A = this chain, B = another copy of it.
């Protein structure tokens, strides 16, 4: 008997990247993850065609985004990647799509030391959906939570904020596309930030060592900070001019193509947002430098139950119509 279509597909594309001993070469019904005395951190995020990525996006970037949005969660929790499982809902199994998808996934699995442990491939008449459940390890009872921020802590973000929402606008042919028509490098950089997040796993140990609370920025800085503050039962004051922007993003703000509110409420940044006690800040900054991850202090945790304030260069509060993106309103 020849292998059925699904088995052949899995064997051809995913077996070569399932190199971890616990994956049993994808020949079994389940995988084994060794906790090695650590707590297993579990996170799951799905990306849907037309919602989280665009129809026609390259298979390589879809693969990387599916894994990296989960790696970003692990990093923000202070966990080291341990592996992942993949559920792929496909309309059809096409070599031309699956081959580069699996190759890019395998490359990222190696880069981030997060091996493919198993998965499920199902047919769907609907949009392509890639669902990843990723695992990490943290020392027992040490996972970094959204709760834990204390008044006086610094509020810190990694990288730059708002690039991905600008990249999406370019792909959709919006105002940003027009404004950057002559600057292909900037266009490609912003599109890349939308399609392929750069998870800050290099910073996980520094977050584990120094952050009082952390999460990754996926639904917009303003909304995600609001969630972190709510979980920690604190508020925060953010100095908006301190929010780190890329050169193209800063230029688009200066030319009034977009407002800063669009950048701090747009999603898909996949940067780490964390709070760090003042006494730890220098050590954290030093660890971040060693890790090669740019960090920016953007404000302070304050007491109170109000949503965080975003203050402009004159100390005026920005009015944010909508703090983050939601699937269902």
Listed stretches A31-39, A195-203, A292-300; interface member:
A31-39
Q: Does A113 contact B (CB under 8 A)?
A: no
Q: Which residue of B lies closest to A324 (CB)?
A: B4
Say how far A301's CB is from chain B's closest CB, in angstroms.
Answer: 17
Chain B residues lying within 8 Å of A118, measured Cβ to Cβ, are 42-44
Q: Is A29 within 8 A of B117, CB to CB?
A: no
Q: Is B126 within 8 A of A125, CB to CB?
A: yes
Chain B residues lying within 8 Å of A216, measured Cβ to Cβ, are 29
- From B44, B131, B323, contact of A1 by CB (8 A): B323
Which residues, 15 to 56 on A, are CB-close (under 8 Å) to B?
24, 27-35, 38-48, 50-52
Q: Is A92 within 8 A of B31, CB to CB?
A: no
Q: Is A231 within 8 A of B126, CB to CB?
A: no
Q: Is B143 within 8 A of A30, CB to CB?
A: yes
Q: Is A226 within 8 A of B44, CB to CB?
A: no
**With A28-B145, A127-B125 known to touch, is A87 a contact of B33 (CB < 8 Å)?**
no
Which residues, 83 to 113 on A, are CB-close (under 8 Å) to B?
85-87, 89-90, 92-93
Would you list 22 pairs from A and B whose C-beta atoms are within 8 A, ordered by A residue?
A: A4-B325, A5-B326, A5-B327, A5-B328, A7-B227, A28-B77, A28-B231, A29-B216, A30-B42, A32-B42, A34-B35, A35-B38, A42-B85, A42-B135, A44-B120, A45-B87, A46-B131, A47-B122, A48-B124, A89-B129, A126-B129, A129-B129
Residues of A within 8 A of B (CB): 1, 4-7, 9, 24, 27-35, 38-48, 50-52, 73-74, 76-77, 79, 85-87, 89-90, 92-93, 117-127, 129, 131, 133, 135-136, 138, 140, 143, 145-147, 215-216, 219, 223, 226-227, 231, 307, 323-329
The 8 closest A-B CB pairs, nearest first, are: A126-B126, A35-B35, A4-B326, A5-B328, A133-B133, A123-B327, A30-B43, A93-B328
